[in-house]
Structure 1
């Protein structure tokens, strides 16, 4: 009889669907795009990253000379076979990762819906030339902010359907101290209704609307949830319960290394997540393969 497995199986090659490769010790470039939205002095001048009040022991990689190799070594320590990282046009770090370790990385392209056709053309180039598997958007981090169901988002969704790639969208209250309205979970409903072919992955928790996220995943077959930016001990109960019942094919592992969490912390806490035996391979690997069409 199967049941909760209180120790994560060690023989599953993990696919991490949110991981970063620093270009140096100064990582302010990761957050520069939405700095104009920040109003409080702590976020502007005291935090190393805009949601630092939520995290502790953020990995620094101090003294590292080769961040691509450092990242791969960290992946090897924790059984991560492949990781999804962000690709910006001309990103030397992403290009080096692809060229040096072609079997270890897949890529999503962070997109700005405010830039109209310039963004659509960039997505098409990135797909043709770099093989991106997804487009990602931080609705509350756009300047100006762009709601999940806004008309500016629709060309991005349509392009992803045409190219047969996924979208990964931040849903729920954002960590940085910016207004939350553009990421209300209910806005996902309209998008999934209008684009039934679109593979839509909710990132960053959907809290405090995780119960609504579950309801929407029951409703829409191409809607998924990733655990990005949450340490495993803080996975919402509604998500764990859903994975253990009707949602085993919908919940996807994603970390947050090194933006806010160490892999040591993530994988030690994963051992205490009460997933059923049959959920683990889907959560750690198979659901990512299907949602992002890996391999």
Structure 2
């Protein structure tokens, strides 16, 4: 069987899509206190623009949420997890208008501990978000995965029944990577055995370690966001085909860095076993999101 021949019958769940950013350089403003190189401070439109050619500018418009649904329909994507923010009313409105298709994820900045926890609770109550997210290297100053500042966030996720998506591995922006060292997940999973954690953005160059930790900790998972399928780490593909079929989940990166045309052109060439595909593309995500 291999890659599903009629993907629309499966109903893909994409764990990272979104509306176009209002400002392509929002990240440079948010991380101004930690960025030091001139390209990041004043030039690149994408935080990893030195790695690959950024997508053409996609403007936010009154029809952006409908445009996103159209793209989802083209590729058989039934549901998508999208970032929502109370500073961006369009994102909250999108998940309210399309709760069966668009699922909200709320990013928490643990540098202000209680403000972040209260904002997450509000997002759950008012916008119905189904997940939290945390970008350790994106905080100013960076907040390591296992830092005490992040622990109230993890506790709140358990109380609210939410998984947390945490950036792992070398970050795209040119800032030190130590806050996202994959080994840091070991302590978090030990301290919070009830927590569901999804490593986001690949975890390279520590993919062997990521696999070992997923074998060790039931609540730890991996998602493919920001990786074109032809670049999925070999260690992750091997793990999915052996003991990790329930731990690996599909996430795209549209419209932030990858097109769906490229992703779905390359996916059939990923050497997953037949039984891995429905778990990778759908059922694992539904379970992790509590759906």
TM-score by length of 1: 0.94
**Aligned ranges 1:130-141 → 2 under 5 Å:** 130-141=127-138
Question: Counterpart of 2:71?
Answer: 74
**Aligned ranges 1:111-260 → 2 under 5 Å:** 111-260=108-257
Q: Is the 8 A contact 1:170 1:183 kept in 2?
A: yes
Question: Counterpart of 2:19?
Answer: 21
Can you give the 5+ residue segments of structure 2 that lack an aligned partner in the other structure? Answer: none
Measured after TM superposition, the shift of residue 206 of structure 1 is 0.6
TM-score by length of 2: 0.95
**Aligned ranges 1:60-99 → 2 under 5 Å:** 60-61=57-58, 66-99=63-96
Measured after TM superposition, the shift of residue 7 of structure 1 is 6.4
Alignment: residue pair count: 290
Distance (whole Å) between structure 2 residues aligned to residue 63 and residue 134 of structure 1: 24
Q: Is the 8 A contact 2:136 2:180 kept in 1?
A: yes
The partner residue of 1:12 within 7, 10, 22 is 10
Distance (whole Å) between structure 1 residues aligned to residue 211 and residue 29 of structure 2: 32
More off after superposition, 67-76 vs 239-248: 67-76
Distance (whole Å) between structure 2 residues aligned to residue 64 and residue 148 of structure 1: 35
Distance (whole Å) between structure 1 residues aligned to residue 157 and residue 43 of structure 2: 38
Cα displacement string for residues 48-88 of structure 1 (whole angstroms, at most 9, x for unaligned residues): 11111222251433596521111111111111111111111
Can you give the 5+ residue segments of structure 1 that lack an aligned partner in the other structure? Answer: none
Aligned-partner SS, 1:190? helix
Distance (whole Å) between structure 1 residues aligned to residue 191 and residue 204 of structure 2: 24
Going from structure 1 to structure 2, the CA distance change for 1:6 and 1:288 (only over 3 Å counts) comes to closer
Measured after TM superposition, the shift of residue 101 of structure 1 is 2.1
Measured after TM superposition, the shift of residue 36 of structure 1 is 2.5
Q: Is the 8 A contact 2:28 2:40 kept in 1?
A: no
Cα displacement string for residues 205-250 of structure 1 (whole angstroms, at most 9, x for unaligned residues): 1100000000000001111000011000000000000001100000
Distance (whole Å) between structure 2 residues aligned to residue 138 and residue 158 of structure 1: 17
Going from structure 1 to structure 2, the CA distance change for 1:9 and 1:57 (only over 3 Å counts) comes to farther
Measured after TM superposition, the shift of residue 127 of structure 1 is 1.0
Going from structure 1 to structure 2, the CA distance change for 1:127 and 1:7 (only over 3 Å counts) comes to closer
Q: Is the 8 A contact 1:68 1:96 kept in 2?
A: no
Measured after TM superposition, the shift of residue 28 of structure 1 is 2.5
Q: Is the 8 A contact 1:7 1:272 kept in 2?
A: no
